[in-house]
Amino acid sequence: MTDRLDAALAKLPHAYAGPGGAVAVLRDGEVLARHAWGWANSERRIPFTPRTLFRMCSITKQFTCATLLDLFRDPTALDAGLRAHLPLLEEPAPSATHLAHNQSGLRDYWAVAMLHGSPVEAPFGDTEAARVIAGTRSLHFAPGTRYSYVNQNFRLLSDLLQERTGKPFADLLRAHVFDRAGMETAILAADTRAMPDGTEGYEGTQAGGFRAAENRILWTGDAGLGASLDDMIAWERHIDATRGEADSLYGRISAPVNFANGAEAPYGFGLARGRDFGRAHTGHGGALRGWRSHRVYVPSERVSVVVMFNHFGDAYGAAMDLLAAVLGETRTTPDAALPPPSWLGAYIEPETGLSARIEHAAPGQILLRFGHSPERLDLLAGGTAGNGRTKLRMASDGLWMLRPQENSSTRLQPAPGEAAADVGGRYRCAELDAELTVVESGGTLYGGFSGFLGQGRMELLKPIATDLWALPCPRALDHTPPGDWTLAFRRDAGGRPAGVEVGCWLARRLVYERLSAPRPA
């Protein structure tokens, strides 16, 4: 095992090339690897060490929930305060537990911010966050019925904890988690513009070069944790040391959770539940422009892996490489002999109204464009395809998409035909008080959003099918952008464009009505 782990560690700086990184591997509470390389700040030549402060981003969510459950054994104690943050909501509000399980039905505020015209690197602080959240009038599914990753679920939880206790969230984290776990240098690094020790996050690639990433978000319970590798080692050792305690912090947040219909939910209390190499694990990833991280804990083996990159390297992939080395397993590869299926093409998922585009990706693999980033699915015997999270299966009544992590199993509707380019004009969403502008320029359509946060970029629209287009969002406030917005145009009795439904996986089914005829660029 030591040889395998040494070999995996040696490959990381080249397999996931970037300015710097740090990883740790633990088994039975003992550190097998504590390794850092490269630069925390390349320009100032500050080395990356196990004591370097790092933006853990969404890994924060489990610490928010640990603090929540340590303060309130029953999270519904916060429910009454939640409604005040959603004054315009016209439906029953989700509960604090729905927030903690990403089952709230709220649309993600960083995705909605792009519909309000936010520039990619604009400031987004408490004022902007509160206005976007307070403007919520509807949910995109009933609370408890589905899973959707929503960052403000955890921002709301940290706000509610502050309001109920009268204490800053940073102090609550220190008292209820950091001090108990021995995370000596961990902090709430809410301001994403800079880290106190000068650590920098980088955009770019080894081939094209790296540059310091610019971030101007202010975040709290959703992604504000700043921690070193040594802090995260302390967290992993605390998890192992308290594994037998019924009331341990990690035991409470990793307990099984369910959807409203009783189905097991693979996400709860800020932790993803998964399975790799035949073993169940819990963990989470984190990302912001210039930062990627991942941690995973396998209770049956008492193994923990932590990966931290200050660049866009695949932290999850690196974590799986290290986990495979420790467990003596091999990461599977697709069967290149399997031919592409006959059901490649464009579809509509009826519940969300989102397009699902299926393309050939590589020998033995297809690419599904549906969520907020494209998914690679391995072709399987019997004409199906899957990746452990999503499965596509052709049946006698059509093509089915199964996403158990979302409690969803739906038959995709084929989306045939050619998209006509007569849909230009201005469209307004009454719910958001925001607009979409579609303009024809030289025979090509472009679209862009605008609202109280500004005027977003015009992007080249991609035709999908009859009255179905994609508006790309390759960059956004968050590291992981919403992806392609589905634009499903609606026509009046005379065949003229009358409106459009706009949505992505993070923010679905927003209705826009046409205000004016098209104007050429």
Specify the amino acid at residue 375. E
Pairing type for strands 454-455 and 444-451 reads antiparallel
| Per annotation, catalytic residue among 58, 118, 254, 355 | 58
462 is catalytic: no
Phi, psi of 335 (to 5 degrees): -85, 100
Nearest to 338 by CA among 286, 295, 394, 377: 377
Integer Cα distance of 260 and 252 in angstroms: 20
State the sign of the Cα–Cα–Cα–Cα dihedral 41, 42, 45, 48.
Answer: positive
Residues 6+ apart with CB under 8 A from 9: 23, 33, 35, 322
Nearest to 447 by CA among 469, 432, 430: 469
Residues 6+ apart with CB under 8 A from 30: none
Integer Cα distance of 200 and 46 in angstroms: 10
58 is catalytic: yes
**Total number of residues shown for the chain:** 521
Nearest to 94 by CA among 160, 12, 34, 33: 160
What DSSP state is assigned to residue 76?
G
Give the residues across from 460 on adjacent strands: 446
Q: Which two tokens stand for residue 20?
A: 């710097």
Q: Which two tokens stand for residue 462?
A: 């991609």
Is-contact 373 480, C-beta < 8 A?
yes
Exposed, middle or buried: residue 30 (CB in 10 Å: 0-12, 13-18, 19+)?
exposed
Q: Which two tokens stand for residue 4?
A: 């395998």
What DSSP state is assigned to residue 152?
H
Is-contact 295 305, C-beta < 8 A?
yes
| Per annotation, catalytic residue among 42, 61, 118, 228 | 61
Q: Tally helices (H) and strands (E) across the chain.
A: 12, 34
Pairing type for strands 425-429 and 434-441 reads antiparallel
Provide the strand spans (E) within 44-125: 46-47, 54-57
Give the residue numbers annotated as catalytic, written as ranges. 58, 61
